[in-house]
Structure 1
Amino acid sequence: MTDTTAFDWQSFLLRWSGEWADSLPEDETRSEDDEASRQARWLGFPRASEERIAAMEERLGRRMPPSYREFLKVSDGWRHAGGFVWLLAGTEGARWHDNESGLADHFEEYLDEDAGPEERREADLWRHGLQLDVESDITHVLMDPEDVDEDGEWAVYTWASWRASPPERHENFLEFMQDVYREFHSLRARSSDNEPAFANDTTRKLDDQVEEARLQALRGNWEEAVRALDEAKEYGRPRARGLGDQIRRLLGQTYMVYFDGLVTDPRYAPELLAPLVAEHAPRSHQDDSTLTFHLRGADDDLVSLAYSMLDQVRSGTYRYTAAGPFGEAVERARKLARWGDTDGAWRTLSEALPLWEPLGPDHLAPLGWVADPLLGPLLTPERGRELLSTPRGGQPGEASRPTVGLDPGGLTWLAEPDPGNNRTSYRFVLVEGVEPADLPGRLGNGDDTTLNEPMTSWEARHESLRSKQEFSSYDDRALMAVGRAGSGWSFAFDGDPAPFRRQRFVSPVAGASAGTRAVVVWCGLRTWHGEPFFHLSVARDGAEQYAFTYADGEVRQSGEVPPALNPDQFFGDLDDSVEVERAVLEAVAGEFGAHLPRHAIVNGRLHTFVTRSWTRPPRDGETYAVIRLRSSGPHATGSERTGDDGAGTR
C-alpha cells in the first residue's frame, strides 16, 4: 500500500502548475485568476496551517484523511483539477454534500432488492459524502468517510451525468489528484493545432518510455511493455494506445481496441484494418457506416479498402498474406488448418515468427491473420501470449516455450460434456488412404456432390437449411465436415445427426471403402432421442467385414469382430454411459490409429458436404411425408407403399 504521507506534494504540484502554464496559448483570453496563476506558475493557494486544518475538522466533525491533510499543508485548494473541475475545495470550501444534488434519490430508483454493497454505496454516497468540487463542468467530487482503508484514507468518487457511467472510485485523495493530473496531460496532448506544442520533461520521459516499450515488445517482453504503454496511454501520449492495442488484441481482448493513430496510416492499414473489420462484421444488423467511426482522418481509398475487406470477411473469402518467409509459412498453415490440423497450423506459424518482418516501426506483431476464416480460429489467449513472447522483427531475445496443443488426440474427447451438453449424438466416417476432398465422391449423392467453402458448424447448418428445398421424413442426408484424421486417414463428421432408426439405418461404410478401408461410428449413448445406442461397421474394398449395433438394450452383430472391439465388454452395464462411451471410443482409436481434431470440429472452419441418405428406401406400406418449398410457399405431398415394416410417419 502506498505511503501517502511520504509523497512529495510540493514537487508534484509545482511541476503540474508549470506544465499547465506553458500549455496555454499566448492569445487566449483568460480570467484574472487564471492569468495570475499563469504568471505565478502556480495553480494552488497559500498553505493551510495546522490550526486552519484543525478548525476545518472541528467544523465538519471528522479528522480528514492523511493524503488530503498533507495536500492542504502545501496548497489550501486547487485550480483546474483535470479538465472538468475548475476549483477544488480547501479548508473553507469542503462541505458535506447532504444530498444537495438529489442524486441519492436518483441512484436509489435503480436499486432492486438484490443490489449489492457497491451499488448501495453509490446511492448512500450522496447523503454522507464530503463534497470537494466548488466549480466544475457538472462534475462531482466526493470523499466517502464510510469507505476507509487501514491507513485512514477515504476513497474519492467522481461522477458526471454526461459520462453516462457509474461513479469512478479512487483509492484516496492522492490517487485522485494523480488521475486528474494525467487527465490534464491527456487533454493537452489532443489539443488543437493553434495551441503550443505540449512538450515538457514529463512528456519527453514518457515518449522515451513508449519507444523502449516498443523494443521490449518486439523482444518478447510484452508484459513489461504493456505496463509501460498503459501508463503512457493514461497521459495521452501518441503511439501508446496504438501499440498497446496490438498486444491486447493478441490476448483476445477486443473491447475499446481500435489501433488508434495507426489503423489510418497507409503503412499499417492492410494489417490492422483486418482485425478491426472482423470485430465489426458480425454486427450485420447495425448500420455499417459505424465502421468508419474509428477511421477518422482516413482518405477515400482506405475507407474503400475497409468496406471491401468487410465484404470479404462476411463472405468468408478474406485471405491474410504476409511478405517473406513468414508469408510462406502462412500459406502452409492455411493448408493444414483447412483440413483440421489446427495444432500443426499453429506450430507452422509460431516457428516462422522470428522471420516476421514489420510493416513499419510501430508494427509489433502480425495481426491480420486473426480475420482469416481458416487461421483466425487458431488464436487463443495462451497462443496469443506465446506469439507475444517470441522475439521477432529482428530483435534479440529468448524463444518462447510452445503452448500445449488444443487437440488431445484419439476419440475419447467426444465423450466429454460440451457447453450446454448439446453433443449427445454424433456420427463419423473414417476412410484410409484417401484425401478429404475425395470423400464426397464416396459418400455423396452422385458425381455432382462437391465441398462447400470452409464454415463453422453453425454457419454450415444455417446455410444448408436456407438452401434446402425439400424435406423428407424418411431420408437422412447428413451434413458432414471433412478433414484429416491423423496419419493416413480422412474423416467426415456430423455433430448433430437425425434420430437413429435401427430398422431403416443403412451404413455407408461399404460405398466409402472402395479400394481401401472405411469405418463408420454412430454414437448416441447420451442421446435425448429415445434409448441409448451405438453402431460400428468396418468395410474393405467395397464389402462390409464386420459390424455391431447396440440398441434397445441388446447387441446385434455380423462378421468377425476383433477381440479389442468385442461389444460384450462394453455394453453389459450402462450405469455410467460416459465411461462406456469413452471405453468404446478408445478401443476404436486404438484399433485403427485415427483421431478427430477437436478444435477444428468445435471451433474451426471446415469444408462440408451432404451425403446420400443413411436410410434404406421405403418399403411397401411405409408412409412418409415430403415437404417441397416453392416461391409461393411450402407444399406437402405424401407417398404411400404397401408392406409390413410398421415404421409409420415421422
Structure 2
Amino acid sequence: MTDITAFDWRSFLLKWSGEWADSLEDGESRGDDDEVARQARWLGFPPASEERIAAMEERLGLRMPPSYREFLKVSDGWRHAGGFVWLLAGTEDARWHNNESGLADMCEEELDEDSGPEEWREADLWRRGLQLDVESDITHVLLDPEDMDEDGEWAVYTWASWRAAPPERFANFLEFMREMHREFHRLRARPGDGEAGFANDTTRQLDTLVEEARLEALGGGWEQAGQALDEAKEYGRPRAAGLGDQIRRLLGQTSMVYFEGLVTDPRYAPELLPSLVAEQAAHSYWAESTLPFHLRGADDNTLSLAHSTLDQVRSGTYRYTAAGPFGEAVERAREMARWGDTDAAWRTLMDALPLWEPLGPDHLAPLGWVADPLLGPLLTPERGRELLSTPRGGQAGEAPRPAAGLDPGDLAWLAEPEPGDDRASFRFVLVEGVEPEQLPGRLTDGDDTVLEEPLTFWEAYRRSRHSQEQFSSYDDRALMAVGRAGPGWSFAFDGDPAPFDQRRFVSPAVAASEGTRAVVVWSGLTTRHGKPFFHLSVARDGVEQYGFTYTDEGIRQSGEIPRALDPSRYFDALEDGAEAERSLLEALTREFGVRLPRHAIRNGQLHTLTTRSWTRPPGDGEAYMVVRVTPGDARPADGRRTEEDGPGS
C-alpha cells in the first residue's frame, strides 16, 4: 500500500499530462485552455502555497485531508480527471455541496422506518460533502469529512446520473486520482481506437506485463497471472480482459465474463463461445437481437456459430471436442461421466492436460467442456484451481496436488442430506455383472425399452411428466437414474420416490436378478412425512434369498439374513433413524462392495429409465383412480379430464 504522504504527486501528474497530450489527434477540436495544456504538457495549474491552502481551510472550517493537501501543493486544481470530470476544484473552487443537486431530498424520499443508519448517512452525504467537481458531464465528486480513517484521510464519492448506480467510494483522494488516470487509459484504449494510436511508457509496460502473465498462467501460476491481468485490465489494455476471463471462468465466476477481444476471434470462438452461450442459455432466453451486445465486431461466421452452439446447448446435444491426445481423453472422460464415475472422468482430463494444445497464443486453458452436459458438472472451484495450476501448452512446471474426489466411495452419504434437502426417502436397485445399458431389460416392461439421454434428475422428471398421458393411484413406475455402482455392479436410483405402501409393495429384485444377483433398498428412516421405514431385499437367479422390512409395527423378514445385515442390530432399540440408516448403508457397502456416485446423482446428468410398477395391481374390492390427459379434449381449468375405473369405484 502506498505511503500517501510520501507519494510523488509531481511525477505522477507529469506522466499523466504527457500521456494526455500525446493521445490527442491532430484534427481533434479543443478549446484554448486544452490547447495551452497540450503545448505545456501539463493538465494542472500552479501549485498552491501553504498560505493559500490555509485560507481555504479557514473558509471551509476544516483542515483538508493529507492526500488532497499534498496534491494542491503541486497543482491547485486539475483538468480532465478521467473522462467525465473536465475541471477539478483547487483552493478557490472547492465548496460544500449543501444539497445543491437536490440528491439528499431524492434519497430521503426513498427511506422509511426500516432504513438503517448507513442508508440515512448516505443520503446526508449530499448535504455535508465537499464538492470538487467544477465542470463535468453530470458527474459529482465529493470528499466526505465524516468518512475519515485513522490517518485523517476523507473518502471520495463519485456519482453520475447516467450510470444508474449508487455512489462509488474511494478510500482517499489519491485512490480517486489513480482511478481517474486508469479511466483515462481505458477510454483511450477502447476497441476501435487501435493500439498504435495510444502508446506510451505506461501502455508498453502493461503490455509486457500481460505477455509475462500469459506465460505464467500457462505454467500454472494463475494467481500471480490473474493479479497482473487485472491490473492491466483496469487500464483497458487489449488482451487483458480476455485472458483474465479465462481464469475467472474456470474458478466458477460467470458474472461479467465475456472473453472480450477473444470470443469474436475465429481462432478462439469454438472454444470460448460454448462457455459464454451456456451461461446465457441457463439464465435467459437469448434472442438473436441481443447477440451483438455480447459479440460486438463478430463476423457472420462467428454469429452463426454462436446461434448453432446456443441451439445445441439448449437441446442438450452440444459435445465438446479437442485435438490430439487431450481430445482422446475428453472422449474417455465423457464415457465415464455418463455412467456416474465423475472422479475418474476428472482424473482422466487432468492426466492428459499437459498434452493440451492451445488454439492460439491467447488461449490459456480448455474451456468449451464446461458447456458439455456431461463434462460441465465436473467443474468445481477446487478443480478449477487444479486445472489452472497444471502446466500446459508447452510450459514446464510442477504438477499440483490433485483435488480431492467428490464421491466418498460408499452408500453412507445417502444418510447425509444436503442443507435444505427436504427429501422424504430414496430407493435404489443394484444389479451385479450387468452393464447399465442392460438395466431396461430387467427393470422395465418391454424388450425394446432403451435408456433416455442423460439429463439432470429434475429435468428428466419434468420431461417424463410432461409426456405422460395417464396417472394411476395404484401404479408406482419409478423414474430412475442409472450408472455404475463400482466394480461389477450397475445401479438405478430414485431420489424422490412415491410413498411406501408395505401392503402392496413388490420388490424388483427378483425380476432383476435373472442369471445374477440384485439388491433393492428403500429407505425412509429420516422422512419428514409419514412414519419411518426401511426395506432390503436380495435375490439371485430370479429367487429372493433374503429380505426384511422395518416399520413402526415391527420387522418382517424372510430367508437367512447375514449377521452384518441383521435388522435387530439396527432397529431393536431405535432412537436415531439417521444413525440407523447410516449404519445399515455402511454395512451394505461392506457386504456387496458397492457405491453410488454422489456428485453425479446430485449435480450431474445421467441416463434414466422408467421401471415397471413397484406395487402389485389392485385386488378385489380395492378402489383406485386413473387420471388421463387427452390432447385436444375439452378439460377442466387444470387441463385434465378424469375417469374413475376399477373394482369398487
TM over 0.5: yes
* Paired position in structure 2 for 1:640: 646
* Paired position in structure 2 for 1:621: 621
Q: Say how many residue pairs are matched.
A: 643
* Paired position in structure 2 for 1:487: 487
Secondary structure at 1:501 match in 2: coil
* Paired position in structure 2 for 1:296: 296
* Paired position in structure 2 for 1:646: none
* Paired position in structure 2 for 1:533: 533
Mapped contact 1:280–1:291 kept (Cα < 8 A): no
Which residues in structure 2 correspond to 1:249-268 (within 5 Å)?
A: 249-268=249-268
* Paired position in structure 2 for 1:106: 106
Q: Which runs of 5+ in 2 are unaligned?
A: none
> Residues 196 and 77 of structure 1: is their aligned pair in 2 closer, same or farther, counting only changes over 3 Å?
farther
* Paired position in structure 2 for 1:145: 145
* Paired position in structure 2 for 1:22: 22
Flag as ranges the 4+ runs of structure 1 deviating above 4 A.
191-196
Return the letter of the residue paired with 2:514: A
* Aligned mates of 2:401, 2:335 — CA distance in 1: 24
Which residues in structure 2 correspond to 1:298-337 (within 5 Å)?
A: 298-337=298-337
Mapped contact 1:437–1:451 kept (Cα < 8 A): yes
* Paired position in structure 1 for 2:516: 516
> Residues 278 and 98 of structure 1: is their aligned pair in 2 closer, same or farther, counting only changes over 3 Å?
same
* Aligned mates of 1:484, 1:142 — CA distance in 2: 64
Which residues in structure 2 correspond to 1:208-227 (within 5 Å)?
A: 208-227=208-227
Report the alpha carbon displacement of residue 91 of structure 1 after superposing the two structures with TM.
Answer: 0.4
* Aligned mates of 1:60, 1:572 — CA distance in 2: 83
* Paired position in structure 2 for 1:645: none
Q: Are 1:206 and 2:199 counterparts? A: no
Secondary structure at 1:496 match in 2: coil
Q: Which runs of 5+ in 1 are unaligned?
A: 643-648
Which residues in structure 2 correspond to 1:167-566 (within 5 Å)?
A: 167-190=167-190, 193=193, 197-285=197-285, 287-566=287-566
Report the alpha carbon displacement of residue 288 of structure 1 after superposing the two structures with TM.
Answer: 4.4
Kindly report the root-mean-square deviation, in angstroms, between the aligned alpha carbons of the 2 structures: 1.4
Could you tell which deviates more after superposition, 557-566 or 413-422?
413-422
> Residues 191 and 82 of structure 1: is their aligned pair in 2 closer, same or farther, counting only changes over 3 Å?
farther
Q: Percent identity?
A: 76
> Residues 542 and 459 of structure 1: is their aligned pair in 2 closer, same or farther, counting only changes over 3 Å?
same
Return the letter of the residue paired with 1:544: E
Mapped contact 1:17–1:41 kept (Cα < 8 A): yes
Mapped contact 2:280–2:286 kept (Cα < 8 A): no
Report the alpha carbon displacement of residue 301 of structure 1 after superposing the two structures with TM.
Answer: 1.4
Report the alpha carbon displacement of residue 111 of structure 1 after superposing the two structures with TM.
Answer: 2.9
* Aligned mates of 1:32, 1:491 — CA distance in 2: 80
> Residues 417 and 109 of structure 1: is their aligned pair in 2 closer, same or farther, counting only changes over 3 Å?
farther
Return the letter of the residue paired with 2:644: G
Report the alpha carbon displacement of residue 27 of structure 1 after superposing the two structures with TM.
Answer: 1.3
Report the alpha carbon displacement of residue 337 of structure 1 after superposing the two structures with TM.
Answer: 0.2
Secondary structure at 2:534 match in 1: strand
* Aligned mates of 2:348, 2:16 — CA distance in 1: 51
Q: Are 1:44 and 2:44 counterparts? A: yes
Report the alpha carbon displacement of residue 487 of structure 1 after superposing the two structures with TM.
Answer: 1.0
Report the alpha carbon displacement of residue 116 of structure 1 after superposing the two structures with TM.
Answer: 4.0
Return the letter of the residue paired with 2:216: Q
Return the letter of the residue paired with 1:641: P
Secondary structure at 1:20 match in 2: helix
What are the Cα deviations for residues 152-181 of structure 1, in whole angstroms up to 9, with x where unaligned?
Answer: 100000010110111100010000000000
Could you tell which deviates more after superposition, 416-425 or 215-224?
416-425
> Residues 586 and 196 of structure 1: is their aligned pair in 2 closer, same or farther, counting only changes over 3 Å?
closer
Secondary structure at 2:518 match in 1: strand
Mapped contact 1:25–1:196 kept (Cα < 8 A): no
* Aligned mates of 1:621, 1:232 — CA distance in 2: 79
Report the alpha carbon displacement of residue 196 of structure 1 after superposing the two structures with TM.
Answer: 7.2
> Residues 51 and 165 of structure 1: is their aligned pair in 2 closer, same or farther, counting only changes over 3 Å?
same
Secondary structure at 1:570 match in 2: helix
Q: Are 1:602 and 2:617 counterparts? A: no
* Aligned mates of 2:191, 2:254 — CA distance in 1: 27
* Aligned mates of 2:345, 2:301 — CA distance in 1: 33
Report the alpha carbon displacement of residue 127 of structure 1 after superposing the two structures with TM.
Answer: 1.1
* Paired position in structure 2 for 1:592: 592
Return the letter of the residue paired with 1:67: S
* Paired position in structure 2 for 1:122: 122
When normalised by structure 2's length, the TM-score is 0.97
Could you tell which deviates more after superposition, 633-642 or 543-552?
633-642
* Aligned mates of 1:629, 1:194 — CA distance in 2: 62
* Aligned mates of 1:34, 1:179 — CA distance in 2: 21
Secondary structure at 2:147 match in 1: strand
> Residues 584 and 341 of structure 1: is their aligned pair in 2 closer, same or farther, counting only changes over 3 Å?
same
What are the Cα deviations for residues 27-57 of structure 1, in whole angstroms up to 9, with x where unaligned?
Answer: 1221110000001000000000000000000
Return the letter of the residue paired with 1:539: A
Report the alpha carbon displacement of residue 121 of structure 1 after superposing the two structures with TM.
Answer: 3.0
What are the Cα deviations for residues 171-215 of structure 1, in whole angstroms up to 9, with x where unaligned?
Answer: 100000000000000000027559971000000000000000000
Report the alpha carbon displacement of residue 364 of structure 1 after superposing the two structures with TM.
Answer: 0.2
Return the letter of the residue paired with 1:40: A
